[in-house]
Structure 1
Amino acid sequence: MIARSYPFGPVDGLEIDPMYARLRDDEPLARVKLPHGEEGWLLTRYDDVRLALGDPRFSLAQAAVRDTPRMGPQRIGAILTDLDPPDHTRLRRLLAHAFTVRRVEQLRAGAERIAGELLDEMEKAGPPADLVTAYAVPLPGLMVCDLLGVPYTDRDHFQDLAAAFMSITAMTDEEKLSRLGELAAYLSGLADQRREHQEDDLISALVVAQEEGDRLTADELVQLTVLLLGAGYDSTAAHIANSVYTLLQFPDQAELLRSNPELMPAAVEELLRWIPAQEISDILPRYALEDVELSGGTVQAGEPVLLAKHAANRDPRQYPDPDRFDVTRNAKGHLTFGHGPHHCIGAQLARMDLQVALTAILERFPALRLAGDVPWRTGMAMRGPLAMPVAW
C-alpha cells in the first residue's frame, strides 16, 4: 500500500481538510508518511481512536526507542508521555494527589477576577484590540501563576520565561531551549522554598504528595511542573482564542449562550468537540504491542498509529450531524483531552478557564465583532489565531 503524504495540505482558519471525512468513511485505517520517521497508520473513526487511546495493547513508551512518524527532525516527548503503566501510573497518582478538582475550583474566583481586570484594560484602551495578546494569552498565563504559587513580584519574569511555550512567540530553537532551562531552574528554586515553607499552591502539594510512602524526586517534580505549564499555557490560550472566534462566526449561538448562561458548561464541551484544535493528528504516535483488529483492518505488532482526534470528534457514528455547531448538544465523550490512562490531567483547569473567559467576554462586550483579518498559525501543533482584531 502506497502511503499518503501527511499532513494532507494547508487549510484556512478552523477548517478540516475534507480528506479526513473521506478516509473516515472509506479508509479508516490509512497508511501515511510524515516528513520524518517511519510510515504509520492514521485512525479517523471515533471508536478506533478511543480504543487506541485507552487500550494497553498500544504503547507510548515504545515511541522513545523507535523512529517515530513526526513533523520535525527531533522527537517530541515528556516525562508522562514517554511512559506506560505501571511507571506512568505511579507518577499520575502522585500528580493526582496535588492536582485535584477542589484545587481547580478554588482558582475560579481568581480566574474571574483576572478576566475582569484584563477586560477592564481592553475597555479602557478602547477598540480595536488584539484579543490574543490582550486576553487569550495573559489569562491562562496568570492562572498558571496562581496555580503554581508564583509570587507577584516574579510574575513578569516568570511569564517572560514561559513565553518559550507560546507558538506565537518569535524565538529561535536556541532561545527557547535557553528560556526553558531558566524556567526549570526557577521552578526548582521555588520547589526548594516550598520544602521549607509550604503554601496553598500546586508546588507545595507536589512537594508533599505521596502514594504508599513514595514521593516525587526533585527532577520529577520540576519535569511534571514544566509539562503542566506547557500543556496548560499555549493550548488553553489557543482554545480561548479559537472559542471566541467560533462564537463570532455563529452569532445566533453566542446570543443563545449570552441569554442562557447556564448552558456554558455544555457549550464549552461542544467548542472542544467542534474546533479542530490540532492541525494534524495527535503528535504522539502509539505502537501496537500485538496485532490489533480495528475498523479498517489489522494493525500488526510493532506498527505505529496516529490518532486524528479532530476527525473522530466529527464522526457521525458518534455525533449526529457532527459538522453542525450547537451549544445545546451533549458533546461529552469528545476526545480532545484524550481518553484512558493518558487523559489530560489538566482538563478540568482548561474547562474552568474556558468557562470563565467566555462568560466574562460575552457579558462585557455583547456587540463584540471582528475588526480586521485574522492571521493564523501555520505548521504548529496547536491551531489558532496569531492575532484577532476585535471591536465592540
Structure 2
Amino acid sequence: MNAHLLNTDPPAHTRLRGLVNSAFTKRRTEQLRQSVQTATDHLLDQLTARGGHADIVADLAMPLSLTVISNLLGIPGKDRPDFRSWTDTLLSPAPDAAVQSRQAMKETHRFLAALIDRKRDAPGDDLLSALINEHTHQDGPRLSKTELVAMALLLLFGGYRNSASLISTTVLALLTHPAHLAALRSGKLATDRVTEEALRWNSSAMPAVRRFATQDMQIGDAAICKGERVWLAWASANRDPDRFVAPETFDPGRDTRGHLAFGHGPHHCPGASLARLENQIAVTSLVCRFPKLSLAGPVSKLRWTTSLRNRSLRELPVSM
C-alpha cells in the first residue's frame, strides 16, 4: 500500500506522476463542475427540508467529498459507506487503533484490488479506469497492480478526508469572521481568495510525508543524522511570520502565494484543482442558501481530530 507518489523519488516518482497526470487532467476536473454543484444542491436541499440545525461536517463536507472522489474514481455507491468507515478507523486515536487500523488497511486493500480487477474487465468513464488503461498499455511505462492499488488508496484518502476538512474549516473561518462572510455574499470577496487563505490558515495536512536523511546535516539548531526520520511541518510553514504578515490572522485579502497546503514541487498534490473547485462550490452555495447561518455553540467547544496526519473538525454544529 506504500507504492504511491508520496513515498517515491525520481525516477520512479517521475514515471508514476506522468501516468497520473495523463489521467488526472484539468479537463476531467472541469467536467466535474456540474456534478459537484448537483451533489451540493442535493445535500443543501436536505438541510433546507430539515431546517433548524445541522452539522456541516456530517451533513455536507463528508458526504460531498466522498461522493465527488467516488464518482471520479468510479467507486460504486454501495461500497462508499465501507470506505468511509475504514478511513475513520485509520485516523482513530483510540488505544486499540493499531490493531483496528491494520484490519481496516487489509479490508481496503482487498476491496481496491477486487475493484481494479472488475474495471479491467469492464472499464468505465472514470479516473481509475483511465489509470488501469495506462496499466494495460503495451507501448510505454505501466502501473503495476501494486502501484494501482496504492495509487487508488492515495487518491481516495486524500480526495475524501482533506477535501472534507477544507470545506468545514473554511465555513468555520467565515462564521468567525462576519465581515469576510458579508463581503463574500455581496460579491466583493472572491471565493477563490477565501479558499486559498483557508488552506494557508488552517491546513488539514499538518506534517509532510515522512522523509529520511541521506546524509548528516544541520538545519538551524537541529542536528539531523543520516538515516533519521524527518517530519516537515507544513502547518508551521504556512504561519511563518517571515513569509506572511500577521500569519495568525485570517485575511483573504493577503498574498497567499507560497503556502504549502498542497505540497511543493514534484510532490504537489495532483488533485489540488479538484479540491479547490469542490470547496468553492460548497462554501458559496451554503452561505448564499442560508443567509442566517451561524455557529450553534462557542468555538471553544468544537472538537478536533487528534491524528498526527490530519487536523479536521469532528463536527461543526450550525443554526440555519
> TM-score, structure 2 length as denominator?
0.87
| Equivalent AA in structure 1 for residue 40 of structure 2 | A
**Stretch of structure 1 that moved more, 110-119 or 234-243:** 234-243
| Equivalent AA in structure 2 for residue 215 of structure 1 | R
Distance 1:228 1:336 in 2: 16
Offset of residue 201 of structure 1 = 0.6
SS in 2 for 1:129: strand
Offset of residue 84 of structure 1 = 1.5
Unaligned runs of 5+ in 2: none
Distance 2:302 2:83 in 1: 27
Distance 1:156 1:264 in 2: 33
- Alpha-carbon displacement from aligned partner over 1:21-80 (angstroms, at most 9, x marks no partner): xxxxxxxxxxxxxxxxxxxxxxxxxxxxxxxxxxxxxxxxxxxxxxxxxxxxxxx95633
Offset of residue 110 of structure 1 = 0.6
Establish whether residue 124 from structure 1 lines up as the match of residue 49 from structure 2: yes
Pair 292,380 (structure 1): closer, same or farther in 2 beyond 3 Å = closer
Over 6 Å off, 4+ runs: 168-171
Distance 1:361 1:264 in 2: 12
Establish whether residue 115 from structure 1 lines up as the match of residue 40 from structure 2: yes
1:94-243 alignment runs, 5 A limit:
94-151=19-76, 155-166=77-88, 167=91, 172-209=97-134, 213-243=140-170
1:21-40 alignment runs, 5 A limit:
none
Corresponding residue to 1:246 among 155, 158, 173: 173
Unaligned runs of 5+ in 1: 1-75
Pair 159,332 (structure 1): closer, same or farther in 2 beyond 3 Å = farther
**Stretch of structure 1 that moved more, 169-178 or 248-257:** 169-178
Offset of residue 93 of structure 1 = 1.4
Distance 2:187 2:139 in 1: 46
Aligned length: 312
Partner of 1:266: 193
Distance 2:124 2:157 in 1: 23
RMSD: 2.6
Distance 1:77 1:191 in 2: 17
Offset of residue 304 of structure 1 = 4.0
Distance 2:7 2:305 in 1: 27
**Stretch of structure 1 that moved more, 107-116 or 316-325:** 316-325
Offset of residue 212 of structure 1 = 5.8
Pair 196,304 (structure 1): closer, same or farther in 2 beyond 3 Å = closer
Distance 1:245 1:78 in 2: 35
Distance 1:302 1:336 in 2: 26
- Alpha-carbon displacement from aligned partner over 1:143-187 (angstroms, at most 9, x marks no partner): 011101234xxx133232332112479895444444443333333
Distance 2:291 2:93 in 1: 30
Q: How much identity, in percent, do the aligned residues show?
A: 38
Partner of 1:29: none
Pair 290,179 (structure 1): closer, same or farther in 2 beyond 3 Å = closer
- Alpha-carbon displacement from aligned partner over 1:280-335 (angstroms, at most 9, x marks no partner): 543x3323323556455765544443212111111222122222211122212201
> TM-score, structure 1 length as denominator?
0.72
Distance 2:296 2:181 in 1: 17
| Equivalent AA in structure 2 for residue 239 of structure 1 | L
Q: Is residue 161–residue 180 contact of structure 1 (8 Å, CA) maintained in 2?
A: no
| Equivalent AA in structure 2 for residue 314 of structure 1 | R
Offset of residue 339 of structure 1 = 0.8
